[in-house]
Structure 1
């Protein structure tokens, strides 16, 4: 008889101001008793222009490594504007520290868009307009054409983003549909857009990639434990 409890241990590095990562992940994996997810927190740098590296993450990766993980993910999207290639370098560093495959939310979104064969997307970003334009430029470097952008008039902090209600989130997402886009991408792991994905996909008939869901989708893949999970959109359903 094997050891009781989850057979697979996944590690997620969560920004200290993020209150969505654990609850959303737990909701999605409620019917997957073989998967255990463990978390370690760190404080984001003060500027959005600052890339997240091992110096920013501090002890968080090593503390997760003590749990002997099968995969690890950085639950943040800063690489979407500071550079996907730089994020892939962070993945390599995390793999060296933890001895397990690694991903980030930014890498996961790009991989998800690729798997969905989406090259023309609508972008939803709850941050500053200038950062949204940098995301558009960075995505273009990876063969993804941002056709429409939906960004709030006023910039919000991470805790403020977490307080947005379902109607406010939906109102932010809807303008991103249009111009024959192949998918809509919601960048920001503290934006609770994941709960609305299935309904919006049913209404508009195209995939919606939520960065928090994409992070879970990709960590399951790199850990070798991917499986279809229903009720959370096309990306997880086709895993």
Structure 2
């Protein structure tokens, strides 16, 4: 007889102010009993422009390593503006610490856009327009053309972003949908846009890449456990 419980163990490193990671992931994987997800938390640096590296993550990766994982993900998007190359280096460092392939939310979004053959995108970002412009420039390095940007009128803390209701999230997302786009990308793993992906895809007939969903999609691929999970948009239908 096999070992009871999940056969595949995934690890996710979660910013301490994020309240979306565990709940969204649990909702998506509710019908996937072979997958177990294990979490470790760390505190983000105070400045959004600070690079997240192993010194910021502290003991969190090593604590996850004790669970003997098949893949690990850093559930944060700061690399989207501080540099995806640096995030790929972080992936290599996490692999060395945890002995398992690693990704980040920023790397996962770029990989997801590649899987969807999406190069012309609308960007939704729940932070300052100045950082959205940095994301636009960073994406251009990877052949991704951000043609439309939607950001909130007022600055919000990470907990405030998580408390946005469906109407407020939808109002932030809707301006990013324009004619001729291949996809709309929601950058920010504490923005609960993942719950709205399916509805917007049905309305506008283009994929919506939510960074939290993309993180799960990519870590499943790294663990050789990718599968179609209905109800969460086009990306999770991609094997």
Measured against the shorter chain, the TM-score band is: over 0.9
Where structure 1 has 5 or more consecutive residues not aligned to the other structure, the ranges are none
Take 2:139 and 2:183, find their aligned partners in 1: how far apart are those partners?
Answer: 13
SS in 1 for 2:111: helix
Where structure 2 has 5 or more consecutive residues not aligned to the other structure, the ranges are none
Give the match for residue 195 of structure 1. 195
Give the match for residue 115 of structure 2. 115
Take 2:175 and 2:17, find their aligned partners in 1: how far apart are those partners?
Answer: 27
SS in 2 for 1:229: coil
1:3 shift after superposition: 1.1
1:238 shift after superposition: 2.2
Take 2:5 and 2:87, find their aligned partners in 1: how far apart are those partners?
Answer: 32
1:71 shift after superposition: 0.2
Take 1:180 and 1:159, find their aligned partners in 2: how far apart are those partners?
Answer: 34
Give the match for residue 60 of structure 1. 60
Deviations 1:165-185 (A, max 9, x none): 000000000000004111000
Give the match for residue 22 of structure 1. 22
What is the CA RMSD across the aligned residues, in angstroms? 0.5
Q: How many residues align?
A: 239
Take 1:153 and 1:202, find their aligned partners in 2: how far apart are those partners?
Answer: 27
Counterparts of 1:1-239 in structure 2, within 5 Å, are: 1-239=1-239
Check the 8 A contact 1:201/1:207 in 2, yes or no. Answer: yes
Deviations 1:170-202 (A, max 9, x none): 000000000411100000000000000001000
TM-score, L = length of structure 2: 0.99
Structure 1 runs (4+) greater than 4 angstroms displaced = none
